[in-house]
Structure 1
Amino acid sequence: MTPADEKELSEIVAGATGPLRVKGGGTRAIGRAIVGEVVSVAGLRGVELYEPGALTIVARAGTPLAEVEAVLAAEGQRLPFEPMDHRVLLGTKGEPTIGGVVAANVSGPRRIQAGAARDSLIGLRFVDGRGTVIKNGGRVMKNVTGYDLVKLMAGSWGTLGILSEVAFKVLPAPAAAACLSLTGLSHDRAVAAMSAALGSPFEVNGAAHLPQTGQTLLRIEGFATSVAYRAERLADLLAPFGPAAVNHDGAAVAAIWRDLRDVAGFAGRTGDVWRLSVKPSDAPALAARIGGEVIFDLGGGLIWALVAEGTDLRARLGDFAGHATLIRADAATRARIASFQPEPAPLAAIAARLRAQFDPRGILNPGLMIG
């Protein structure tokens, strides 16, 4: 079923007699398989409002992400949170939608400075499990009505409602960028270097460590003269970690961080991929216990891990301060191992009450996020 508008979407949900599998662009095959009738938001398409001067954009949920980004780029603006394209890592087809970005709270390396999708989200409309249309937040940055509900929907993976419209605050695109590269650092030294860079006044908005290539990478963006000055000063600050090569080629820098954003280093390779959110100071020790290849992002606060197929990485690691999400695995592994981190009992009880409130019949992506 592909409703043409929000009213039709509401009628479909209200009249549903069984589970519904919510589909955006079909690019994120994450979580357990859902048995149910497919409801696609592909018909809910188009940018409804864009005010460059107010730094806001409103689009229907099925609008391709590429379309939104093209509209913004024409005015020298961008989404602040650098959404990942999961097609690279997962080998999926389709086209990412702006609603899917919100539903999965997708972000990239710039999250360390700009936050995730939910931090730029200022309003939305969605259809809950009863078929009721709910509007929350607004279309301008100063309107924060219903702030908590806006943030709640981001990352809910279609289990609380089906998004029909989203509104974002946006930012100007930078005029220039530079990437500093250190080589040969251990995990501990790399995290120390990234922490020093992120704690500096030089506005670093990307910090990653790739053990496979021996590189530790740092990104600076802004006006050309500012980027040149900050890159030079940052290289001086990092001198105790070794000489830093500085790349000022904007296209090359964009390509480096696009590959990092999309975890291209693990694309097309045998093995399961996990995403771990941890304290940066814990990352080196956890990486040693993972038993596979790793990539550090967000200054060490995010670990991408490539491990043998069928590995239950949570069982291998035991208790740690953070959470682990199974991002890429075959259907059998995803059926056996919960993709999303099991919640502590108090949080699980709250989540269950929220689902009961927004989807009392339990028909929206049932079981997707539950272990």
Structure 2
Amino acid sequence: MTDRLLPQTNKDVLDIIRAAAEDKQTLEIIGAGSKVDWGRPVNSSAFLDLTKLTGIMLYEPAELVLSAAAGTSMMEIQQALAAENQQLAFEPPDFSSLYGGNNSGTLGGTIAANLSGSKRLQAGAARDHFLGFEAVSGRGEEFKSGGRVVKNVTGFDLSKLLAGSFGTLAAMTSVTVKVLPKPDKTRTVLLYGLDDEAAVKALSETLQGPFEINSAAHLPANIAAKSAVSYIASSGGSVAAVRVQGPEPSVEVRCRAVRALWQAHGEVEELHGHNSENLWQEVRDIAKLLSNPEDQIWRLSVPPSTGAGVVAAITGQLEGEYYYDWGGGLIWLALEAKAENSTAILRQVIDNSGGHATLVRGSAELRSSIDVFHPQPEELARLSSKIKSSFDPAGVLNPGKMYKVDG
């Protein structure tokens, strides 16, 4: 049984990693464990559990900045922000249900995975809201970057580097993020009954218009039927959706304009309040819409104009369920757990169209045998290896989590 190390302070983290580096031991970094099965299985000497590093250290609503220990739960973060009518504008998804858990994860884990929801279209990714951090590298050295005010861009590149590194470069002990006010009003306009190609085209047309859309998704009929939102589930067909937020008068004007544009394509409806909120939570968190807990779950990032063609090429060879986010540029795909040759087929289709295919959920056997993250071009792989060596030359932290380790 793998030992679980529970540091209470930043110095404890430093001491543990320094000792591991000296003793040539390896560590798997975990927080709440909500995403531990994302990535290749890690063969480690011990778990480095950061859940005792918790608590909001600084929150200045007027300055739009929050700093917290890396192990602070996302629930605590969200509650603190809600009390001030603020939010994380990149809307991080909660993947706990996707992995069969009930813990919403930690702030450090959210940043380490660069988790970004439907609003990424307008707000940007998690890394774009990541202002700074304190961390310990795989060398056993403390370092920090960034600051506590939005205008401070010191160490900007290091923050960008750690976001999405899945704990393979350093163990973050604290995180500073930009926060924003919640919008005054939110509405979602629905368009019923279009096939994939027509729906993605309608979304693209709308995104290019003057409507300030911040989220755009398309649910095929079989996926729409699973929604808990009655306007979606009872439609009997596919549903395309765009979200509009801002001051109430502006939202009303923009929604009216979107409805007028879309009426040429089919039946149109509008969601308000909780119905709108619930739809985008379903799209963001995945598990409600792709509901078989045994399925492989793939995240396909493609040029929106190619999305429908990518899906057609894949589903012509593999049985699966899917839906589109980010205006067609993000495809969530569920395949049978034992679908044969799924990885080779997906990667070939993606390579032909441009984009990336990442396995977000799969059996340990599958994750051990494939590249979970899309294979990097040779030049980029060399650069990634050099960066890893700079931060963690002995391969102490999360070895093999993102890419296979030779030997």
Bin of the TM-score, shorter chain as denominator length: over 0.9
1:190–1:216: 8 Å Cα contact kept in structure 2?
yes
Determine which of 311, 329, 333 is the counterpart of 2:362. 329
Q: Distance in 1 between matches of 2:10 and 2:103?
A: 22
Cα deviations by residue, 1:153-188 (Å, 9 ceiling, x for unpaired): 000000000011111111100122111111111111
Could you tell me which residue of structure 1 aligns to residue 38 of structure 2? 30
Determine which of 298, 304, 307 is the counterpart of 2:335. 307
- Secondary structure of 1:234's counterpart equals helix
Taking only aligned residues, the RMSD between alpha carbons, in angstroms, comes to 1.2
Taking the TM superposition and a 5 Å limit, the aligned residue runs for 1:221-240 are: 221-240=245-264
**What displacement does 1:269 show?**
4.3
2:108–2:172: 8 Å Cα contact kept in structure 1?
yes
TM-score, structure 1 length as denominator?
0.97
2:219–2:323: 8 Å Cα contact kept in structure 1?
yes
Q: Does 1:67 align with 2:76?
A: yes
Unaligned runs of 5+ in 1: none
Could you tell me which residue of structure 1 aligns to residue 380 of structure 2? 347
Change in CA separation of 1:95 and 1:261 when aligned onto 2, cut-off 3 Å: closer
**Alignment-mate amino acid for residue 351 of structure 1:** S
Q: Distance in 1 between matches of 2:342 and 2:132?
A: 36
**Alignment-mate amino acid for residue 58 of structure 1:** S
Could you tell me which residue of structure 2 aligns to residue 172 of structure 1? 181
Taking the TM superposition and a 5 Å limit, the aligned residue runs for 1:227-306 are: 227-248=251-272, 250-263=273-286, 264-291=288-315, 292-306=320-334
Cα deviations by residue, 1:113-162 (Å, 9 ceiling, x for unpaired): 10111010111111001211111011101110111111000000000000
Between 1:265-274 and 1:161-170, the stretch displaced more is 265-274
1:26–1:93: 8 Å Cα contact kept in structure 2?
no
**What displacement does 1:322 show?**
0.3
Q: Distance in 1 between matches of 2:158 and 2:294?
A: 39
**What displacement does 1:93 show?**
4.0
Between 1:76-85 and 1:267-276, the stretch displaced more is 267-276
Taking the TM superposition and a 5 Å limit, the aligned residue runs for 1:193-204 are: 193-204=202-213
Q: Does 1:365 align with 2:389?
A: no
TM-score, structure 2 length as denominator?
0.89
**Alignment-mate amino acid for residue 34 of structure 1:** V
1:26–1:95: 8 Å Cα contact kept in structure 2?
no
Unaligned runs of 5+ in 2: 225-237
Q: Does 1:215 align with 2:239?
A: yes
1:90–1:267: 8 Å Cα contact kept in structure 2?
no
1:91–1:268: 8 Å Cα contact kept in structure 2?
no
2:216–2:326: 8 Å Cα contact kept in structure 1?
yes
